[in-house]
Each structure stands twice: as C-alpha cells, then as structure tokens.
Amino acid sequence: MANKQVIGSLTANDSSAQREPGTVFWDGATGKAYRYVLIEDLAVAKGDVVEYSDTSGYEVTQDRAGGSSIGRVVAGVAVGTITDAYYGWIQVSGRHDAIKTDGGVSAGDVLVPHATQNGHADTAVATSTGVNTEGQMFGYALETDDTSDSGATCAGVIRCL
C-alpha cells in the first residue's frame, strides 16, 4: 500500500496557515497538483485565475485590474472559495473543469490572464503590430467556453509549475 499525504480539504479556507505556505501537493490518482497559498486583496472562488502578488512565491491575488498582481505571472486557478487574507489551495497543474473566461475562448486556445477582468482567462494574442500576450500562457482550453448566469467557464489544462 502506497503512502498518501493527508492534506485536509482542497477547498480549505483557513484563517491561519495550517501547513507551510507554498507547499505543493501532487495527487497521483488524478494527475493534478495544488499549492497552499495566502490570498491577497480580493476573495477568490472556484475557477478564478490568480497571479503572484509578491515575491514570496505563495501570496496570490485575482486583482489584476487593481494592480496587486506583480509581473502578470499566473500562479494557478482557485478550486474553492478563499476569503481575503486567508489560506487555501489553488490548482497549479492538470485538468480544471471550470476556469473563468471572458466568453471568447475556443477549444484549443492558449489561455492567458485577462488584461482587465479580475480572475478571468483570455485567449493569447500573437501579433507583429500589437501587444503580444502569449508569454503569459498558463494553460490550454479543452473546450469552447460556455456562458451561464455566473459567467463563462471552460475546462482546461493548467501548467503553472
């Protein structure tokens, strides 16, 4: 019998750190990886795209429009609701079933953080006459996004390690 690290709930919303921030958990059964992080500035919900907000490697934010993100580097995608200034898990590798998007993502598109919508993904752009965003790639869309009452989402593969 193989040993499995007990991490508690992947949808944790901890008011104080329950493990070392930055810890990565690999779930061999699903092929997914998660990082334990501190949320800054705005609470997150399942599917929110989060970016690093300082140089610690574990403090993250969905506040791209407000400027808390540094370097526009995606840290991962939220798997549950985490309150501002609380700790919890984000997904950093593998398939995620509900990445928030801007409503214009198609199957096979390269995913980048949206330039103005907090917590959303957009399609990468490569152009010789505009702003190139493909360097901010964090994953790929596995399907065309859908729109619902809560906004557009799509399944995708995350590559943030």
pLDDT exceeding 90 applies to what percent of the chain?
Answer: 65
| Residue 142 token pair | 């596995």
pLDDT of 161: 85
User: Rounded to an integer, what distance in angstroms lies between the CA atom of residue 146 and that of residue 12?
Assistant: 27
Do 16 and 36 touch, CB atoms closer than 8 A?
A: no
| Average pLDDT estimate for 29-50 | 96
Confidence check: pLDDT of 16 > 90: yes
pLDDT band at 8 (very low <50, low <70, confident <90, very high): confident
pLDDT of 135: 67
To the question of pTM greater than 0.85 for the whole model, the response is yes
Which residue would you say has higher pLDDT here, 61 or 1? 61
Confidence check: pLDDT of 51 > 50: yes
The amino acid that residue 154 corresponds to is: C
Which residue would you say has higher pLDDT here, 59 or 134? 59
Confidence check: pLDDT of 2 > 60: no
CB count in 10 Å sphere of residue 56: 12
